[in-house]
Amino acid sequence: MTPIAITMMVIAILTVWGGLALALLNLKRHPEDEGALPEEHAPEL
């Protein structure tokens, strides 16, 4: 691959998957409100 193509590939992967990683981290830091959990769990899950 050419250096410029590699650079753009790395930037694309870092921004998009990095964005996903940050979004997941944010979600993990704020777990579901226990009070908002369902009364019963679906048995299959």
Partner 1 sequence: MSDPSSSRAAPAKRETFSTRRLFILSAIGSAVGLGNIWRFPYIAYDNGGGAFLIPYLVALLTAGIPLLFLDYAVGHKYRGSAPLAYRRLHRAAEPLGWWQVLVCFVIAAYYAVIVAWSLMYTIYSFTEAWGDDAEGYFFGTFLNVSEAPGVGFNYVPSVFFPLLLIWIAVIIIMVAGIRKGISRANSILLPLLMVMFLLLVIQSLFLPGATEGLNAFFTPDWQALADPSVWAAAYGHIFFSLSVGYGIMVTYSSYLKRRTDLTGSGVVVAFSNSGFEILAGIGVFAALGFMAQAAGAGVNDVVTQGIGLAFVAFPTIVSQAPFGALMGVLFFGSLVFAGVTSLISVLEVIVAAVQDKLAWGRVKASLVVSGLVAAVSLGLFPTATGLYLLDTSDAFVNSFGITLGALVTVVVLAWFLRKLPLLSAHLNRTSTIKMRRAWMVLIGGVVPLVLIYLVSNEFMSKISTTYEGYPEWFVGLFGWGMAGGLVVLALALTFIPWSRKSKAHHDPEYQSIVDEEEEESAR
19 to 38: interface string for partner 1, x by CB under 8 A = xx--xx-xx-xx-xx-xxxx
Beta-strand ranges (E) seen in 1-45 are none
Q: How many residues bind partner 1 (CB under 8 A)?
A: 34
Nearest distance, CB of residue 33 and partner 1, angstroms = 5
**16, 33, 44 from 7: Cα distances, Å:** 14, 41, 45
CA torsion sign for 18, 19, 25, 29 is: positive
Q: Could you list the residues that contact partner 1 (CB under 8 A)?
A: 1-2, 4-9, 11-13, 15-17, 19-20, 23-24, 26-27, 29-30, 32-33, 35-42, 44-45
